[in-house]
Amino acid sequence: MNLTLLVWRQENAQDKGRLETYQANDINEDMSFLEMLDVVNEDLVKKGIKPIHFDHDCREGICGACSLVINGIPHGGKKGCTTCELRMRNFKNGDTITIEPFRAKAFPVIKDLMVDRSALDRVMYAGGFVSVNTGGTPDANAIPIQKDVAETAMDAAACIGCGACVAACKNASAMLFVSAKVGHLATLPQGKVEARERVRIMVTQMDAEGFGNCTNYYECEAVCPKEISIKFIAKLNRERMKAVVAR
């Protein structure tokens, strides 16, 4: 298939940036979206044009690095799918595809389609952990956990920290990301000891990074490649209220 790409090009965070038009020719429909960009970049290099910078790592839907907005939707809009898992068969021959970076105050552009998402890391550094002296590795079943509790924790732990929720939200809110991390630990007995302090610190850091607040439009849940439920935001708010009352 042959496609027309409108790609965002920007030298750095200070550059104004612009959309530039490129052709993607002889694209195999079984290629992933990133493989298609690889083909385009090879052609640009042959022509002496700077390749398009975009972020990637595992290309298996695990790392969350493939942060692209495709036709206005983070990761392209296919349910439960990251950009690297998106196949070109989801497009038609002759289509025009607009490709932009994740846009948020907390995600400054590094170059072209690459953004700095280290703000999410700093939220995790602030409190997304359990403080224990592990010693020897304990048996996995040393602490009995109910099946429904374990499954809820695993649902939250599925978050890969890609930032699609931030890019989709009109307020650039990171509430779904933070709530998944808080919900994962606050659900398990190992995390309950520090639950109140954890939510206070992580929410404070989230605000300091410049993320907006949640206004319940559910865009975050709609674009999340791991389909994290909005229910975790409600749990985050409950945990935060407990922390406020306790203080």
pLDDT of 143 strictly over 90: no
Please report, for the chain, how many H helices and E strands are present, in that order: 9, 7
pLDDT at 243: 86
CB 238 within 8 A of CB 159: no
CB 176 within 8 A of CB 217: no
Angle separating helix axes 118-127 and 195-208, nearest 10 degrees? 150
pLDDT at 42: 97
Which domains, from first to last, does the chain contain? 3-111 (3.10.20.30), 117-246 (1.10.1060.10)
pTM of this structure? 0.92
φ and ψ at 15, to 5 degrees?
A: -70, 145
Render pLDDT for 30-63 as a digit per residue (tens, 0 to 9): 999 999 999 999 999 999 999 999 999 999 999 9
Radius of gyration of the chain (CA): 20
Q: What is the mean pLDDT of the chain?
A: 94
What percentage of residues in the chain have a pLDDT greater than 70? Answer: 96
pLDDT at 190: 85
pLDDT of 224 strictly over 90: yes
Give the range among 29-33, 45-49, 140-144, 150-154 with minimum mean pLDDT: 140-144
| Strand-strand pairing, 68-70 and 73-74 | antiparallel
pLDDT of 12 strictly over 80: yes
- Confidence class of residue 135 from pLDDT cuts 50, 70 and 90? low
The stretch 68-84 carries a mean pLDDT of 97
The stretch 74-97 carries a mean pLDDT of 97
Render pLDDT for 178-199 as a digit per residue (tens, 0 to 9): 999 999 999 988 888 898 999 9
Which tokens in the block code for residue 19?
């959309």
pLDDT of 138 strictly over 70: no
pLDDT of 103 strictly over 90: yes
